[in-house]
Structure 1
Amino acid sequence: MAKVAAMTLAETYEHGLAAHRAGRLDEAERAYLEVVAQVDHLPSLHNLGVICDARGRFLEAGQWYRRAAEAAPQSAKRQEALGIHLRTVRDWDAAEAAYRRALALDPASQAAVDLAFVLLAQGRYPEGWSFYESRARRAKMAKRFGTPEWQGEPLAGKRLLIWREEGFGDQMMMARFLPQLAADSVVYVGAGALQRLFAPFGMDYAVYDAGEAPRPEHDVWMLSMSLPHRVGMTAEGLSGTPYLFAEPRRSAGRIGVVTQGQAANRNNAFRSLPGAAAARLMALPGAIGLDPAETGARDFRDTAEIIMGLDLVITVDTSVAHLAGALGRPVWVMLAAHALDWHWPRAGRSAWYDSARLFCQETPGDWDGVVERVIAALAEAKIDG
């Protein structure tokens, strides 16, 4: 009889998994609940956490991830899953503890990189960047190049290759460190959309958007997200002053608005505004969308020129927030209470960009409240078309 029951539970789990993959979340949740009512089945516990996270039931999600971690205390994978949830809800102390447990169980775990983001979000930069060095991409690039990775030693007489990493916003964020390099020559491999924006840094620029990767001549190489670690960035030495520049372009509006991030980004479900909230911002007097499809911008240099001609940018957490901040233009960044970003605090100002003002959800998922505060702040500032 025990064997029959076990098979029944297995079939129930498989039914739930199929429903989950098909997007039938109610059905999937019922099946998983039926399984875990009888046994601590780790995949079912984890998937219940996933469903609750997706539905904004974060407290319940944490209970499922914790139960899975407690049921398998020697599993680095379950500790890491708990850490990811805790990082999402920005419970930094608990997330750090979960990631450190995962690393104690498996030093090669991906938890080292996730722990880096937790530390960076708290401004613990030297330790955070050190943990971030464990990312697998470095080993992959070392195989590609077959040349030494730059570790911070003097660069006199050497040609340094910098390979772009992460999204456009991260690349703009890291660009502040480029003037600190003392190499005889630098070649940057990056997206074509950033080439003209980065031209004032005086580097050679090799465009890599797709297809066969370029192989510029170089003596040493590095990934762009290693820049702060290599130059010894600290919280005390971080400046929020402008470091990107563009000539202003006259615009049909005075307020630039971005309400959506790229759909492929795993943080997009948190950071993008629903249609009604987005429409309220776009209906503001003097508002224009900053999507290239609306502005005709060919690249980020064009968008930078448009931003320089505006009074204000209002945006979700996407590349335009970094661009406006790096240009020193007033930018109001709308933030989810729960999200996977590490770049922005949820209170106070941004240490990275002096010109940024942050508007965070007071209740998870409540974008209407954020938009209300933005509109009230606009009225107070008397900014319109």
Structure 2
Amino acid sequence: MILSSIIAKWRDRLCHTPNAAEFYQQLAMDLWAAGQLAAADRALAQALKLAPDRASFWVQRSALAHQLGNIQRAETDQWRALELNPQLVSSRDHLQLGNQLAQQGKLAQARQCYEWAIAQDHQCWEAYFNWGWVAQKSQDFAAEVQAYQRAIAQGCPDARLPDRLAQAWARFGKAAYLDRAYKPSIQAYQNALSLNSQQASYWSDLGCALTAVGQWSEAETAHQKAIALDPQAANYHYNLGNFYWKKADYFQAISAFQNAIQCNIHDAKSHWNLSHILLALGRLTEGFREYEWRWATVQPPPELPHPQWQGESLHGRTILLQAEQGLGDSLQFIRYADLLASSGASVWFSGPAVLHRLFAQLPAIDRVLPVLEPGQILPGVDYRSPLLSLPHQCKTDWATIPNQIPYLTVDPAWPLPPPFKELPAKPKKIGIVWASGYRVEDELHDIYLDKSLSCELLLKALQEFPVMLYSLQVGKNAQDYQPLMGQFPDLNLVDCSPWIQDFADTAAICQQLDLLISVDTSVVHLAGGLGKPTWVLLPARCDWRWLLDRPDSPWYPTMRLFRQAKPGDWSEPLQQARSALSNWLTTS
């Protein structure tokens, strides 16, 4: 009866003016007052359909939704009303709503509420701080800086504000550094220090950013100031060590990393970086001992219940060797299987499938297994060892590097690709690889870029020589040569990648070659282990295993090294390789 009378009251008006949103809103209010909530909700929906920009309608529908128990829609409608007209509520109401939204994790909406609060009351100091907090949580450090700067500009008397702004600048600097925006990072840290010059971490982080752009003197000063402010912080010595390492001041780097370890004996990253420098300097005993700290930085092989070998007698025992890190590491250090087998051990290997055929026919390897599941028990295994722990446990030094070659062999039964069947003795057959293994992870991608050169540069360096080139490049870069062949019409190049499925395939091809010329990647360890003449093109800052400044390798007697003089500049090693190739072709 009530509903009918209300509808009758508004029927004529709505018939004459069907698009009058106000009539539907007033109808909704009458229905609501009469307790007809569902009908009132429908009437408000029609009013909003006709006038969606009327903030007061959204406020009323929000209140009605609350009464109907539809909390989610009530919040949505209230938010829509505030977007249309923030003046509907007071600055304090905006602040309180922002706090509620922040607690719910709705950071973008909370930030908007704080901005509305500030727009209505420029001295709503709590809103500035809370705006800064939600900006920080949202990783929007530029907005965090802006919030505190605006508070200072408005005359906020809060004594915490300068330090909050300094911290915001430091976070901005860190984010810019990680994005490799080094100049903005430097400026941000300098801004932070202008507000608080006694914060050691700002100086250390500034030193890292300055190092990245090669401002050596300023970077060293910044790192030293951090240490002067907090000499017991291992991380500041670690950052200084990285500075000296990048600057190629190796003995200062050693001292800095040792100071970091003195501050914190468990600082694994300092042990790890120290190991690289010691090994590069040829201090193998110390270096391999420090290398045992690598598990805080690199992915360890699966943890198994068998004890890790610590140098105990292996006579009559079985040891499982576990692959770790890159494929080249396995190819280089599987040589220790001979040493262990000669001491009376039965040697098993666990690792990626691409190594299985190659390693299975090595005399020292009794069994080859896939990568194991963590916790898996292998009956008959007495010990296990990650491959790169063997040099330390075997007490490897200059006199005891196991460099007898070949330690890798090729099974004559392995099939050869068609291009290698019935080959003439001449011209000379040279394998080439121009790119290291492709990785997408930031740090590993940088290493890939440092190690790799363009296919065009390598082909240009070799185009004049009367040789056959065989590309052993696989993976993402295998087809890099194809768009270039028009530039090199006289080049004799065979792409071997279609016939390479594992390292046994690559080994069979390598065995047919006279020489391999390659960047630092797994195939150089394969060729070196086979005893093939192998020339390696190295970046200026290369891996520890290539030592410093040497043209040869104590690990591989048939290997020659050609090094960049300047980071990123391949002209010198390529020219050296060209001269060496000219002499080699004349004398061989």
Q: What TM-score does the superposition give when structure 2 sets the normalisation length?
A: 0.58
Specify the alignment match of 2:70 in structure 1: none
CA distance in 2 between partners of 1:330 and 1:42 (Å): 52
**Relative to structure 1, is the Cα distance of residues 216 and 88 closer, same or farther in structure 2, using a 3 angstrom cutoff?**
farther
The structure, 1 or 2, with the larger RCO (C-alpha pairs under 8 Å, 6+ apart) is 1
AA partner of residue 7 (structure 1): R
Question: What is aligned with 1:292?
Answer: 474
Aligned-partner Cα distance in 2 for 1:58–1:205: 50
1-side partners of 2:371 and 2:387: how far apart?
14
Deviation at 1:104, TM superposition (A): 0.8
**Which 10-residue stretch deviates more, 148-157 or 258-267?**
258-267
The whole-number CA distance in structure 2 between the counterparts of 1:117 and 1:4 is: 44
Partner of 1:14: 171
Aligned pair count?
A: 381
Question: Which residue of the partner structure matches residue 303 of structure 1?
Answer: 506
Name 1:76's counterpart in structure 2: 234
CA distance in 2, matches of 1:9, 1:97: 31
Instruction: Tell me, in whole angstroms, the C-alpha distance in 1 between the residues paired with 2:515 and 2:202.
Output: 47
Equivalent of residue 273 in structure 1, options 450, 453, 471 = 453
Please tell me whether residue 231 in structure 1 is matched to residue 394 in structure 2.
Answer: yes
Corresponding position: 1:102 with 2:102: no
Kindly indicate whether the alpha-carbon contact (under 8 Å) linking 1:160 and 1:187 is maintained by their aligned counterparts in 2: yes
CA-CA distance at 1:99 after TM superposition = 1.4
Structure 1 position 241, deviation (Å): 3.3
SS of structure 1 residue aligned to 2:517: strand
Structure 2 unaligned spans of 5+: 1-156, 479-496
Distance 1:300 1:42, change over 3 A: farther
Moved more, 356-365 or 35-44: 35-44
Query: TM-score, normalization: structure 1?
Result: 0.85
Contact 1:188 / 1:205 at 8 angstroms: preserved in 2?
yes
Q: Within 5 Å, give how 1:127-146 maps onto structure 2.
A: 127-136=286-295, 144-146=303-305
Q: Distance in 1 between matches of 2:504 and 2:219?
A: 42
Taking the aligned partners of 1:340 and 1:269, their CA distance within structure 2 comes to: 14
Contact 2:551/2:562 (<8 A) preserved: no
SS at 1:205 equivalent = strand
Question: How many angstroms apart in 2 are the aligned matches of 1:274 and 1:42?
Answer: 42
Of the three residues 422, 426, 431, the one matched with 1:256 is: 431
Identical columns (%): 28
Deviation at 1:106, TM superposition (A): 0.6
| 1:160 Cα deviation from its structure 2 partner | 1.4
Among 309, 323, 340, which residue is 1:164 paired with? 323
Match for residue 526 of structure 2?
323
- Amino acid across the alignment from 1:194: L
Q: 2:408 aligns with which of 228, 237, 244?
A: 244
Q: How does 1:183-222 map to 2 (within 5 A)?
A: 183-199=344-360, 200=362, 201-208=364-371, 215-217=377-379, 218-222=381-385
Q: Determine the C-alpha separation between the residues in 2 that align with 1:282 and 1:228.
A: 37
- Identify which range, 187-196 or 341-350, moves more after superposition: 341-350
Structure 1 residues 86 and 283, CA gap change in structure 2 (3 angstroms) = farther
Displacement of 1:179 after TM fit?
Answer: 0.8
Q: Aligned partners of 2:450 and 2:228: how far apart in 1?
A: 28
* Structure 2 CA distance for aligned equivalents of residues 215 and 45 of structure 1: 50
Q: Measure how far apart 1:185 and its partner are.
A: 2.3
Whether contact under 8 Å (1:76, 1:105) holds in the other structure is: yes
CA offsets, 1:328-355, max 9 Å, x none? 1111111222245344432232111111
Structure 1 residue aligned with 2:184: 27
Cα offsets for 1:224-255 (capped at 9, x unmatched):
11212222322112243311122685549822
Higher Rg of the two aligned structures: 2
Deviation at 1:189, TM superposition (A): 0.9
- Structure 1, unaligned runs of 5 or more: none
Larger proportion of helix: 2
Name the aligned partner's letter for residue 306 of structure 2: T
Are residues 333 and 50 of structure 1, via their aligned partners in 2, closer, same or farther at CA, if it must alter by over 3 Å? Answer: farther
Amino acid at match of 1:280: K
> Secondary structure at 1:236's aligned position in 2?
helix
> Which amino acid letter does the alignment assign opposite residue 457 of structure 2?
A
CA distance in 2, matches of 1:28, 1:142: 37
CA 1:160–1:340: 2 relative to 1, 3 Å: closer
The worse-fitting range, judged by mean Cα deviation, of 301-310 and 45-54 is 45-54
What is the distance in 2 between the residues matched to 1:46 and 1:129?
29
Query: Equivalents in 2 of 1:206, 1:355: separation in Å?
Result: 30
Hey, what's the Cα distance between the residues in 2 that align with 1:263 and 1:60? Answer: 35
Residue 177 of structure 1 and its aligned partner are, at CA, apart by: 1.2
CA contact (8 A) 2:275 2:286 kept: yes
Bigger shift: residues 250-259 or 287-296: 250-259
1:12-62: per-residue Cα shift (whole Å, max 9, x none)?
A: 333333434444443333323443466265554444454455556667655
Matched letter for residue 233 of structure 2: S
